[in-house]
Amino acid sequence: MQFTKYILLLIIVFALPSTITSEALCENTFSKAISEAVSNRIRNVIEKQIESLKKNDSETAFMFASPNIREQFGTHDNFMRMIKENYSVILSHSSFEFRDLEKLDNIGFVQTVFFEKKSGKAILAMYFMELQPNGKWYINGCKLIAAAGIVTEKYPNHVTYRLWEALAKLKYFHTKS
């Protein structure tokens, strides 16, 4: 009888953690899949807008702006004028690369995009994303952070919004809305 209790105890000790681990693993895998799906949809919207802007297609680029942004600018021509005045790097970059996508409290999803100018200057753009009731993602603003006068190689992938924000607060970087 004592031996049976011992075997039962061993089964519980070894089987229970594997069950918990399996459930946790499934939950993490599910969360990761959702995260990848959201990330892909957000990146697709940003990439299409960048391509449209590069082609000077203001109508298409304007379609990816959130309803609030579209209301603020009224027309695609006004929107393009603002882009040319404030976001010229998006029109004239030599390359761009998606970095981290983060969900920040009270802000929502922020997709970081690294732009490199032909001069080698690094510009980081934070795209603030908005999910509409129709299930589509739209760009609800963009903040540029430029390395002040630094000609540099690409920053490592682990550079995140919070790091750049902290550096901007220290006035290491020049920020432009």
Q: What is the pTM of this model?
A: 0.67
Give pLDDT tens digits for 68-91: 999 999 999 999 999 999 998 899
> Encoding tokens for residue 48?
């299409």
Evaluate if residue 3 carries a pLDDT over 70.
Answer: no
Q: Classify domain 2-176 at the CATH topology level.
A: Nuclear Transport Factor 2; Chain: A, (3.10.450)
Task: Select the more confidently predicted residue: 54 or 119.
Answer: 54
Domain edges within the chain:
2-176
pLDDT of residue 29: 43
Percent of the chain with pLDDT over 90: 47
- Supply the mean pLDDT for the chain: 75
pLDDT digits (tens, 9 = 90+) for 38-68: 999 999 999 999 999 999 999 999 999 999 9
Kindly tell me if the per-residue pLDDT of 34 is higher than 80: no
> Which has more pLDDT, 119 or 5?
119
State the Cα–Cα distance between residues 6 and 169, nearest whole angstrom: 61
* Bridging pattern class, strands 173-176 and 121-131: unpaired
**Strand positions, DSSP E, 119-161:** 121-131, 137-151
Give the pLDDT confidence score for residue 173 in this predicted structure: 42
